[in-house]
Amino acid sequence: MSITFSDAVAIALNERGAKTAVRLGLPVEIGKPSIILDDHWTKDEVLVLVMALPIVMRLIARKSLSKGSDPIVVAVDELGQFIIPVLGGHRGANRLAGELASRGNGTAVITTASELAEIPAVDGLSGFVAKGDVAGLIETMLEGRDPIVDFEIEWPGPIQLRSGNGPAKVIISDLAVDAPTYDSPTVQLIPPSLVVGIGCSSDASPEDVSGLIDRVCSEYHLDRRAIAKLATIDIRANHPAILDQHLPIVTFRSIQLAQVTVPNSSAAVEAAVGTPSVAEAAALLASKSGSLVVTKTKTSRVTLAIARQKARGHLKMVGLGPGSAMLRTPAAVEAVINSEIVIGYQPYVEQCSELLSPNQLILRSPIGKEDERARTALEYALGGRSVALVCSGDPEIFAMASITFEMLEALWNQNDIDSLNRLPEVSVIPGVTAGLGGGALLGAPLGHDHAYLSLSDLLTPWETIERRIHAFGQADVVIAIYNPKSRGRTWQLPKAIEILSQYRPSTTPVAIVHNIGRSGETKKIYNLATFDSSKVDMTSLVIVGSSATRHFGDYMFTPRGYKIQP
């Protein structure tokens, strides 16, 4: 299960509610809520109703409610003080409530029993579809009795689900399990383990494809919900029969498919499209497994094969921005929420605490343990887990992305990773940097060429840093100085200012910005002659202007060279 909060829609009764929705960063529709709700009432919707809770309850009472088909619904009062999950708490409503509360300094009202008891909610696990007696299972877990966990296929189980003596049972399988036949509460967790290879004629219809998928899944007792993606030849990438299945699609060129050894090759297919196999070869390539669950099955218009893939880990290096939830991107929110494991320096983990759930393993570490964080994150990702490695600002700017890629490269060079198929997926989720956040608070000091510089000499020799200061000074670019000062580093910043003063007028603006995006955010603008380094601490960013940077009032900016005519 994956939640996409960026598609959330707010519904408001009036302008007051609409203003609250906008303040929370939500697109909003105003009007008769029952009519708007009818347009959005589908399983995949995420709805925020900005109105009194009794009105929300009366509106949804008119609907045909079912856990399997309800949208996520969150109620927010018109002032944004209280955010209440109404439907889909396990599926993401609780996390959305926490996120909205953080954005607007409100209070998330969470009443879900499993959440309060810090028990993983099996119907809200990222990467699984739950089927069976979820309520009965959770009830036994609330009583302190962990379920028996039965692995019918090779797949990592939920990271926080402990295996016990039952009587409840959890079955991890992509097979069609008839859970209601069990005496005790039983839940099947269906992973995204199946890859369907598809070949089709130009005149194939969506019904031809879906009909064969349904038939094969029934014959081989496979659960259709375990299908992670479709795989096909590139010339069929935009074929309506494949697109209309509403599943992720992976395509390969004929030369790639032709290199795969398959059980059932075809000379006729090779003559037509340049490869002796489409369905089987595509399924094997996309799954990276080397074995088929279902070999080639065909109708007059469609050819199908199914492979079972191994769990592929995903390491997401997530930039949380400078501090405020309103400066955190939707992509960062979704990356954290949809990860099994969240790892980071303790203050950065706390920075996104409202997004965390009992379903997740949370690993907090002290300062100065960057290499250990990167190694731990990679180990879990190599084991098939989905991992969010969180940091403040942006992962690329003096943060965790570089060291993580360096460690990944080292593992490859040492043959600890012996196959490209073992590599986890790696994503960098950008964030608002301290430089951007501080620059925005000041106005537009980064409006022209600029550079980022770290004064920390823990990993970079001071001689190297000093050469760069001279180079930036000669280049006459604005400089955003990170790590300007710490308890053990007090002389480097005055030295940097002294060097830059050789290249720029004494009137050049210099700013100190504290606690960007956090409580206690302040800014102060000096110049090179009046700059006071004693006002800088570990939460500060220093921005030194170029010779063209100007200062007026509470702002500083660097012109780009336009000829302004007031």
Taking the domains of the chain in order of start, what are their residue ranges?
5-111, 122-190, 194-308, 314-432, 435-557
Contact 482, 513 (CB under 8 A): no
Q: Cα dihedral angle (17, 336, 452, 364), rounded to 10 degrees?
A: 120
Query: What are the residues whose beta carbons fall under 8 Å from the beta carbon of 169, sequence distance 6 or more?
Result: 147, 148, 149, 150, 182, 184, 185, 186, 187
Amino acid at 143: E
Question: By C-alpha distance, which of 433, 425, 372, 370 is closest to 400?
Answer: 370
H or E element in which residue 441 lies:
helix 434-442
Task: Encode pLDDT of 399-441 as tens digits.
Answer: 999 999 998 888 887 766 666 667 888 999 999 999 999 999 9
Q: b/e for 177-188, b at 16 or more Cβ within 10 A?
A: beeeebeebbbb
Provide the pLDDT for residue 472. Answer: 96
Task: Encode pLDDT of 283-332 as tens digits.
Answer: 999 998 778 999 999 999 999 999 999 888 999 999 999 888 888 888 99
Note the Cα 471 to chain centre separation in Å.
Answer: 38
Residue 187 has pLDDT above 60, yes or no: yes
Residue 350 has pLDDT above 80, yes or no: yes
DSSP H helices, 352-426, are 370-382, 400-413
Separation of alpha carbons 145 and 163, rounded Å: 9
Residue 182: pLDDT band (50, 70, 90) is low
DSSP H helices, 323-369, are 330-337, 346-351
Query: What are the residues whose beta carbons fall under 8 Å from the beta carbon of 203, sequence distance 6 or more?
Result: 301
Provide the pLDDT for residue 411. Answer: 81
The tokens describing 494, both together, are 């005055």
Residue pointed to by tokens 């190694």: 375
Cis peptide before 494 (omega within 30 of 0): no
Question: By C-alpha distance, which of 517, 507, 482, 514 is closest to 496?
Answer: 482
Enter the CATH code of domain 194-308. Answer: 3.30.420.180
Give the global pTM.
Answer: 0.85
Beta strands 169-172 and 148-151, pairing class: parallel
Contact 115, 358 (CB under 8 A): yes
Provide the pLDDT for residue 2. Answer: 60
Separation of alpha carbons 231 and 520, rounded Å: 52
Separation of alpha carbons 505 and 1, rounded Å: 58
The tokens describing 265, both together, are 């090759």
Amino acid at 6: S
Separation of alpha carbons 474 and 405, rounded Å: 32
Question: By C-alpha distance, which of 366, 451, 436 is closest to 394?
Answer: 436
Separation of alpha carbons 287 and 289, rounded Å: 5
Residue 90: pLDDT band (50, 70, 90) is confident
Provide the pLDDT for residue 423. Answer: 81
Separation of alpha carbons 400 and 324, rounded Å: 20
435-557 classified as CATH 3.30.950.10: yes
Task: Encode pLDDT of 228-246 as tens digits.
Answer: 999 999 999 999 999 999 9
The tokens describing 484, both together, are 């300007």
CB-based contacts of 471-477 (< 8 A; 24+ apart in sequence): 472/500, 473/499, 473/500, 473/502, 473/503, 473/504, 474/503, 475/449, 475/451, 476/503, 476/504, 476/546, 476/547, 476/548, 477/448, 477/449, 477/450, 477/451, 477/546
Residue 153 has pLDDT above 70, yes or no: yes
Which segments within 382-467 are labelled E, that is strand? Answer: 386-391, 425-429, 443-444, 450-454
> Domain 5-111's class?
alpha beta
Residue 504: pLDDT band (50, 70, 90) is very high
Instruction: Tell me whether residue 518 is exposed, middle or buried, using C-beta atoms within 10 angstroms of its C-beta: 0 to 12, 13 to 18, 19 or more.
Output: middle
Question: By C-alpha distance, which of 249, 252, 257 is closest to 275?
Answer: 257
Question: By C-alpha distance, which of 467, 3, 20 is closest to 11?
Answer: 20
Mean pLDDT of 484-505: 92
Task: Encode pLDDT of 379-396 as tens digits.
Answer: 999 989 999 999 999 999
Residue 376's CB is within 10 A of a number of other CB atoms, namely: 17
| Percent of the chain residues topping a pLDDT of 70 | 97
Contact 63, 38 (CB under 8 A): no
Q: How far apart are the first and last CA of the chain?
A: 55
State the DSSP code for 402: H
Residue 1 has pLDDT above 60, yes or no: no
Mean pLDDT of 70-76: 90
Q: b/e for 538-550, b at 16 or more Cβ within 10 A?
A: eebbbbbbbebbb
Beta strands 129-132 and 186-190, pairing class: antiparallel
Mean pLDDT of 195-202: 94
Residue 106 has pLDDT above 60, yes or no: yes
State the DSSP code for 546: -
The upper half-sphere exposure of residue 210, i.e. CA atoms within 13 Å in the direction of its Cβ, equals 11
Question: By C-alpha distance, which of 123, 170, 165, 160 is closest to 144?
Answer: 165
Give the per-residue SS3 of 107-125.
Answer: EECCCCHHHHCCCCCHHHC
Report the CATH fold assignment for 314-432: Cobalt-precorrin-4 Transmethylase; domain 1 (3.40.1010)
